[in-house]
Structure 1
């Protein structure tokens, strides 16, 4: 049942729809946690699918690009760029398309489509046809593009649904908790890769990479990357039924679809209270909004234009740093010598070592950072956390880059890993979470999913820049300098310096993003601000008495 404190009753806005006020002031209930899990499992799957590819790219090179020489095969730069980046391109397209569709057709109607795409394409990625390199890479890239397309839809829809279900006191924590499931997805990818590679390594033990030439390990190792990629279909499939049971959000039903009866009926079940339909008030709001601004209007540019620039630009800058660091951890660890050269490991054990390194980073930095944001976002505010995160990411990137050769010495590698983990911690206890939260709060209901999709797509454009840019920059090495066989490559050092500058610019653009802590969505967007005060305020019945809302 819904219980309201006296100060909440007195503080409710007179020009607000009763069903929306009921959501704003509701105490944390079971349906909040259900919504977090249902939406969050999508992000668990998203992160698993997007980042698991980094665990197997070296294996793909050894399997399909061995040329008979003295060294293991590696993916050519253009193929590596395609394999790592094609899902990001699909994600960008999906964020724009499904974000727009979520405002046109409703959040729930579109929600199931994204999961179906993710399930089918996760399986398709692992079933890529042919044993020849070109055939496998082409089909893998095809399925990963459409996998990314489905993942892209999850961003605006999950954020919008959670923001529209949450109460205003803990809304930031609820949206951040949905996004925090991404950390568990990254962790799960590492754990699955550890289990699969350890099982195969035990069953098909071989001392060095030369077994690739003999073919015995090649046939077995080909199953490893397929199993790892296909596993992403299971959490998505498990979530589908529960997503379809969720009712449409009241804010879409009332403010966009103009169906007061349905909004009241849906939220009466969710909140377990009796809510009256407010058809007269919805009609009044509809008349006001009928002459209201669209996305490409001067009014939108005046009221929300800088906000959209701020959310899109900060997400773009953040993802340049975040995705380049995440997708190419293995290359950075190899460059500093934390991972041994490929010639000293067989193909299966290399997957195990990469997965172990990335799992350690996820445990120490990625996952804790997400949940620090959940704990503090409604206390410290979105603006402070984002500014703080960009600041510390800048500091740690420069601390890694400027004395880069210092970190390549064996005695200093643990220090490098600690510093590197801290960049992930402050990315997630910082802009990686807040850039997801804020666009779901500050735009009008009829444009909320679209604007979140635009902001998220800008982020994926940054991820594409980061993935391709870091890949090519890290190829640049100083051949005259080596440290026990490890290149001291100027490419990695310069890349880290560039990422530090990018994070600093992110601090500056954060100044365009408004603080949304503790305010209702309608207060933030200015919706219902005209002509609604004349409408009679409805009531909610709880325990035999009526509470005005």
Structure 2
């Protein structure tokens, strides 16, 4: 008769170590101490059997039952939240187990980097509203600061994705997050001199934009690859993306909280400088934990675990060239991202009209910030709906239904545009609906799909190209729709957004796969590869055992 065990120490009873892998070697029943039998709940009369498989089955069943009971007892509130969202396990459970530790660190890095990128992308609008009361400001100054970030993001998405494939995901993430930290801090220190303060901010917003843009392909790729062996892969990427909603919400909330107590000349600097906090927080955690790991007895083995050898293509362009079905994949991912960002400018165009009609004119900085926070809150339910749906519904279905519902909503707003200003409830309901079905739809899936569509040898680069397509769509949409709105009216622009939404739905159905194809299933010619040794960067925080 045999039973499973690893050593002669008592059977561990904690959630951290109750794993079937701990019972991989064999020991005879005569050698097993009594404390091994107690947690297995096997009475003495059942400890004797002529069949090894019988005992194996009984022990495994009892271990599974014990695991379920122990985990249920130790389940925290955050565990229940993730269970509600449909996760099979808490993605932040960083046990002594190396694989769990890696995944938890990757999730922290990806989520905080997305919060940082989203915050830095929209914080300038709050800052400019304050600065116009302090400095001589023209529409050209505002446009320069906003356009500089978008241009930087396009460069960052292309460069960050390529660097991720060449040097490694974590090294590239350290570079782009460092750019965000430096860019946010320097823009917060801008001064008025012979050199225009807005020109100074625009230059550093360009650099900041490179950092923000680089996060898009890297955060999605890191999350997808650290969860590619679980059922929660797409759900984890959607969770990472949802942190952008938190990032968009933070600037107006921070402004509203501080506006009453902080002088305006200092407030705009705090708002811009706060964008460095997520990256600095990761660095402090990493440096603080480095001392503990260095002094730990397990540091050497942990360091070996954290130092990964990864094969990368000698020539990324060669890997892209042999990517199977590349044109259809790019149309389904980058093309849909482009279309979505073109049409989503309709929301930007419609926002001041909705805020003015529903809440009245914002007469103070604090009131304007509160109004913006309300709009950001309208978007949050859609983010979490996409997380819950991912895994139950395919990304193609989520994206196509999102495009369809946006077409209906934009069409309704366009047709009844002149009447909606007199019906505030209907106005806010329809406007909130466009946010909900964009986030529970193409806004989430255009972010998720590239990381689940392309093979690993060129995944980061192609993900960056897709993200850049989206930002190019935003630029084109803003230029075309501003002209169209002034010439034909806002209602025509919104009807045009409905048409673009329908085109997006058709492209999704034709060019996006119904099921996600994993990397090992992608049949492609061999490309020349080389080995890159990737050590954890300054931003990778791993917990010690």
TM > 0.5 fold call? yes
Distance 1:223 1:373 in 2: 38
Distance 1:291 1:136 in 2: 42
1:171 aligns with 2:195: no
Aligned-residue offset at 1:452: 0.2
1:520 aligns with 2:512: no
Q: Tell me the residue number matched to 1:294.
A: 318
Aligned length: 426
8 Å Cα contact 1:90-1:149 kept in structure 2: yes
503, 508, 511: which one pairs with 1:510? 508
8 Å Cα contact 1:95-1:155 kept in structure 2: yes
Alpha-carbon distance change, 52 to 376 in structure 1, aligned in 2, over 3 angstroms: same
8 Å Cα contact 1:332-1:492 kept in structure 2: no
Q: Tell me the residue number matched to 2:9.
A: none
162, 171, 195: which one pairs with 2:257? 195
Alpha-carbon distance change, 62 to 312 in structure 1, aligned in 2, over 3 angstroms: same
- Give the root-mean-square deviation of aligned CA atoms: 3.5
Alpha-carbon distance change, 161 to 505 in structure 1, aligned in 2, over 3 angstroms: same
The C-alpha deviation readout for 1:356-398, integer Å capped at 9, x for no partner, is 12211222x3111111111111110100000011111111112
The C-alpha deviation readout for 1:429-459, integer Å capped at 9, x for no partner, is 1111111111112212110100000000101
8 Å Cα contact 2:145-2:199 kept in structure 1: no
1 or 2 for the larger relative contact order (CA 8 Å, sep ≥6)?
1
Alpha-carbon distance change, 199 to 86 in structure 1, aligned in 2, over 3 angstroms: same
Distance 1:518 1:508 in 2: 19
Q: Tell me the residue number matched to 2:74.
A: none
Alpha-carbon distance change, 131 to 394 in structure 1, aligned in 2, over 3 angstroms: farther
Alpha-carbon distance change, 238 to 513 in structure 1, aligned in 2, over 3 angstroms: farther
**1:515 alignment partner, SS class:** coil
Aligned-residue offset at 1:115: 1.0
Distance 1:142 1:293 in 2: 31
Alpha-carbon distance change, 340 to 155 in structure 1, aligned in 2, over 3 angstroms: same
The C-alpha deviation readout for 1:462-484, integer Å capped at 9, x for no partner, is 1222344445555x28xxxxxxx
Q: Tell me the residue number matched to 1:216.
A: none
The worse-fitting range, judged by mean Cα deviation, of 26-35 and 105-114 is 26-35
Distance 1:507 1:140 in 2: 39
Distance 1:356 1:125 in 2: 24
Distance 2:314 2:255 in 1: 53
Distance 1:168 1:528 in 2: 27
345, 355, 376: which one pairs with 1:362? 376
Aligned-residue offset at 1:128: 2.1
1:111 aligns with 2:173: yes
**1:496 alignment partner, SS class:** helix
Distance 1:161 1:244 in 2: 21
The 5-angstrom pairing of residues 315-334 of structure 1 reads 315-322=337-344, 325-326=347-348, 331-333=352-354
8 Å Cα contact 1:102-1:449 kept in structure 2: yes
Alpha-carbon distance change, 228 to 446 in structure 1, aligned in 2, over 3 angstroms: same
8 Å Cα contact 1:321-1:466 kept in structure 2: yes
Distance 2:156 2:478 in 1: 18
416, 432, 443: which one pairs with 1:403? 416
Structure number, greater radius of gyration: 2
Unaligned runs of 5+ in 2: 1-16, 22-55, 57-87, 95-99, 290-300, 528-545
8 Å Cα contact 1:329-1:358 kept in structure 2: no
Distance 1:88 1:35 in 2: 26
8 Å Cα contact 1:317-1:503 kept in structure 2: yes
**2:192 alignment partner, SS class:** coil
1:91 aligns with 2:105: no
Q: Tell me the residue number matched to 2:120.
A: 49
Distance 2:419 2:121 in 1: 32
366, 372, 375: which one pairs with 2:388? 375
Distance 1:168 1:122 in 2: 36
TM-score relative to the length of structure 2: 0.70
Aligned-residue offset at 1:158: 1.0
Aligned-residue offset at 1:244: 9.0
Alpha-carbon distance change, 291 to 179 in structure 1, aligned in 2, over 3 angstroms: closer
The C-alpha deviation readout for 1:275-329, integer Å capped at 9, x for no partner, is xx9x9xx9xx99xx899982563x43x5222101221111111122335635x56
Distance 1:429 1:48 in 2: 21
Aligned-residue offset at 1:144: 1.0
Aligned-residue offset at 1:85: 2.2
TM-score relative to the length of structure 1: 0.69
221, 246, 266: which one pairs with 1:223? 266
330, 338, 346: which one pairs with 2:358? 338
Q: Tell me the residue number matched to 1:534.
A: none
Q: Tell me the residue number matched to 1:307.
A: 329
Alpha-carbon distance change, 27 to 420 in structure 1, aligned in 2, over 3 angstroms: closer
Distance 1:521 1:3 in 2: 27
Aligned-residue offset at 1:145: 0.9
